[in-house]
Structure 1
Amino acid sequence: MKTSICTFLTFQDHKAEEAMYFYVDLFDNSKVIDVQRYGTDGPGKEGTIISAIFELNGTRFMCSDSFIQHDWNFTPAVSNWVECETEEEFNGLYNALMENGDVKMPIDNYGFSQQFTFVEDKFGVSWQLNLE
């Protein structure tokens, strides 16, 4: 049996589709693979995402719009690590991800790389950007 593991992002404010396309547009070699939506019979709001599969630079992710309001949301304790090859790539990702988001660790040399930052994007998803 082949076991498959991928990150699953649960959105509570009908932001799954917006976030998915934001990420797919932001990262090279990315695409939406499949989207399943709620219909008129629910239980979620019609047109919102039951589940979607997408890839970011070849890494598979899934997302959904939860029709249940949970007491939890995303946490910075779990984040996406991005190895950037150039300062231009690093700065472009930083500027896009921090817009209307929150910088958890500002850009600096923290001793483990030449340039690093930790940001939470406008959807509440955390990203660690590292310049190799």
Structure 2
Amino acid sequence: MKFSPYLQLNGDTKEAIEFYENVFGARNLGVMTFGDLPTSPDFPLPENVDHLVAHATLEIDGSTIMLADTFPGQPSEEGNLVIICITLDDKDKAHKIFEALAEEGQTEMPLAKTTFSPAFGVVKDKFGVRFQIYTEIDE
């Protein structure tokens, strides 16, 4: 199990990536835009968001920071700028952790199979801490 901070920004993630590359000497491990994602009728995207960052990863001195622009229509604000991403390699364990965090909390995105993960979801625990559960594809 690995824990990583996940920064959610309001449309300036590409600028933040460059800034952190310069400030920290961060190594860009990849950027995926909303335009790179397969289309889904469950999550239709508004027009003119293809350039926004859906997911990016930076490596800084052995640590990982993930970043993304918020999903259009869900702006980040003080209190939800940082989310903790828990990366697992076992989807049963991911479900168990997700359910435990959701108890007395709030499910923001149900844990489910996606095109990029066999089990992915977002939950806010009873203390208001937001967690993104990400299970690595193990095929």
Scaled by the length of structure 1, the TM-score of the pair is 0.47
Scaled by the length of structure 2, the TM-score of the pair is 0.44
Structure scoring higher RCO (CA < 8 A, sep ≥ 6) equals: 2
